[in-house]
Structure 1
Amino acid sequence: MAVDTAPAYRGLTFVRIAVALQTLTLFFQAATAGLLLTSAHGELLHDVGARVMYGASMLYVLAAVLAWRPGGASPRPVLYASAFLLLASLQVVLGIAHLPALHVPLGILMFTGSVLVLLGTRPGGVASRPGTEK
């Protein structure tokens, strides 16, 4: 008997796209953070990038929920996405408060985590290596 995996696959594709967008925006934020030190336009670019990154984090939550509830995927990505949204909220607060001693390391942590999640969501990625399935 054949099992229809198309909805779950589509949901996982949306999750991959959302995580990739989030990772790209976090990389953009790192680049514009450097521009803050050297250019007058750096602050504007970093501010706009922060809004886009926050939106990308919300899109990741939406994609994870849509893959989980109607798609039948694991609820684990919803927890990851919610954690990233919480960290993004903390980043905004730290950035507005001008606390680079906390803002910068948290940004590095978020980028690293996003890259790891992105690697884990791709077909044949870290999470689906041979021998790890039950």
Structure 2
Amino acid sequence: GWWHEWRDAMEPWQQEVIGIESSAGLVRSWHPALVPELLRTPAYTAALYRTLYPADTPARRERRVELLGERQRRLAERGAALWALLPAAALHTRVGGSRVMAEQRERLAEAAHRPHITVQTVPL
């Protein structure tokens, strides 16, 4: 599949997940504490990856950010539905600076109005 050229930016488990995701008509996504992957902005993702992958080179972290962007692009291009669940705490968990979080909250608000995306928030 298309993701094979991105193996250098993936964790081993991601190949199977992305393979399934790439042919799904509906993708359900959640994270117990953060914004689900497929709704993250590049800035939010980059800030998070600096923490999650401190041993990575900046180039590898950027490649990981690009991979997520490609996943998001392909999902939208196919018109697949995305159902995302996140805790309200994710909106208050600071990832990056205040500008990063403001952009991320704006992205979530925009996504909630798209026809193929459902965003649900679990209250505090």
**Normalised-by-shorter TM-score class:** 0.3 to 0.5
Q: Which has the higher strand share?
A: 2
Higher RCO (C-alpha 8 Å, min separation 6): 2
Q: TM-score, normalised by structure 2?
A: 0.34
Higher helix share: 1
Greater gyration radius: 1
